[in-house]
Amino acid sequence: MSKDNNQEQIKQESMISGSIEENKNSRNWWIEIISFIAMGYLIFSLISPILFEEKRQPRKIEAPDIILIALVFLFNSGLLNRLEDFGVSKDGGVTAKFKQIKQEINEQKKQIDELQAQQLEQLEKQQKSLEETQAFMYNFLLGDKDYEKIDQLDRHSDTKTNYDFYVSDRVGDELRRLRDLKLIATKSGYISDIVRASDYGKRSINLTKYLDVTDLGKKFLVTRETLQSQNQQEMKKSEENPKVE
């Protein structure tokens, strides 16, 4: 029963589309005839002085002729269905507004904006996924000293307390490595400026004045803490339930 209904609906849709297409073709046919007659009349009216009067020049194109030409182009361009307002001034000027074109432009602009928003959202998701993967991998690349520097810098920055540290050339190299991994960032200048401020490790300086923990660095800290917590729980379970050989 459903198949019969679908077939009947398809037949009705095809009949409707066919009748619409026939009406459209019929209208186009009449428009072409009227346009041909109008252009023929215009050409004849322009050159008639030469045919019926001696030593006369073709008639100059006037405002009504321009209006007639504009109407012919309007009917043949398919813009008539989109015409919202049309008027002719006393000076022969023609004004027209096309509502549908404006709507189509707005719809296209909306579609472009939506597509750009989707692309930006997709890029943000990919970036977030990449950062999470990096944060996870850094747990196997960095040692406890590196983790401690980032962790202490983050804690003291949040509490707005001093994180005093002796920054020698060797420590400077460690900070450069963390910076190149995008886990920390300098507030201004370079790592070498921090080393010189510490007089090459001879005096302690507050690192929170020179360095910040990046978003990736914060994710690294969270991931590290999560993995450590999981390891502790697994060790605790293994101690509570020792294997019997």
Tell me the C-alpha distance between 205 and 67, whole Å.
83
pLDDT of 1 reads 45
pLDDT band at 2 (very low <50, low <70, confident <90, very high): very low
Query: pTM of this prediction?
Result: 0.48
**Better pLDDT: 19 or 53:** 53
Q: Which of 104, 62, 65, 64 is nearest to 82 (CA)?
A: 104
Q: Tell me: the pLDDT tens digits for 135-161?
A: 778 877 888 899 999 999 999 999 999
**Better pLDDT: 46 or 13:** 46
**Within a 13 Å sphere around the CA of 180, how many CA atoms are in the beta-carbon half?**
7
pLDDT of 97 reads 56
pLDDT mean over 184-208: 94
Tell me the C-alpha distance between 34 and 36, whole Å.
5
pLDDT of 106 reads 76
**CA distances (Å), 233 to each of 23, 143, 230, 239, 240, in order?**
78, 21, 5, 10, 11
